[in-house]
């Protein structure tokens, strides 16, 4: 390998994704590997995009939101890309805060019910 390239199998292993996931990301045009015959190779651009895709998924962004953000991608970054990210991040932070609030409430209710049940056993 004269340049940093990963094969399909190496890409799956590096990012701990299934072949189906990787093919799907290609199908929806999040990734564009170089094709040589039947083989696919992923260079630095595609590995960077995969890192962003997985990070976006972990943060709860939809694939469509990630796709739109990546469409604005410029290697040096640009104002549109940064604004789009800020918009996505603000929206997702609000959604995650709401989820956390709901989880805290559910945990509190379950803990109270558990404590009541334990108390009734010891009474």
pTM, two decimal places: 0.72
Burial (Cβ within 10 Å: 0-12, 13-18, ≥19) of residue 60: middle
CA-to-CA distance for 59 and 88, rounded, in angstroms? 10
Q: What pLDDT, on a 0 to 100 scale, did the predictor assign at position 2?
A: 46
% of the chain surpassing 90 pLDDT:
74
3-class SS of residue 7: strand
DSSP 28-64: TTS---EEETTEEEE-HHHHHHHHHHHHHHHTT--HH
60 and 20 Cβ atoms separated by less than 8 Å: no
Residue 82 confidence (pLDDT): 80
Per-residue pLDDT reduced to its tens digit, 33-68: 999 999 999 999 999 999 999 999 999 999 998 988
């Amino acid at each position: 390998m004269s340049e940093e390239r990963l094969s399909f199998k190496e890409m799956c292993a590096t990012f701990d994704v299934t072949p189906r996931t990787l093919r799907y990301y290609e199908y929806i045009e999040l990734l564009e590997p170089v094709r040589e015959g039947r083989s696919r190779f992923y260079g630095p651009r595609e590995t960077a995009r995969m890192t962003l895709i997985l990070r976006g998924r972990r943060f709860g962004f939809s694939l469509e939101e990630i796709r739109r953000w990546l469409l604005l991608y410029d290697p040096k970054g640009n104002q549109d890309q940064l604004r789009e990210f800020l918009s996505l991040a603000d929206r997702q932070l609000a959604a995650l805060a709401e989820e956390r609030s709901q989880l805290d409430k559910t945990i509190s209710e379950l803990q109270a019910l558990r404590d009541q049940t334990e108390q009734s056993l010891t009474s």
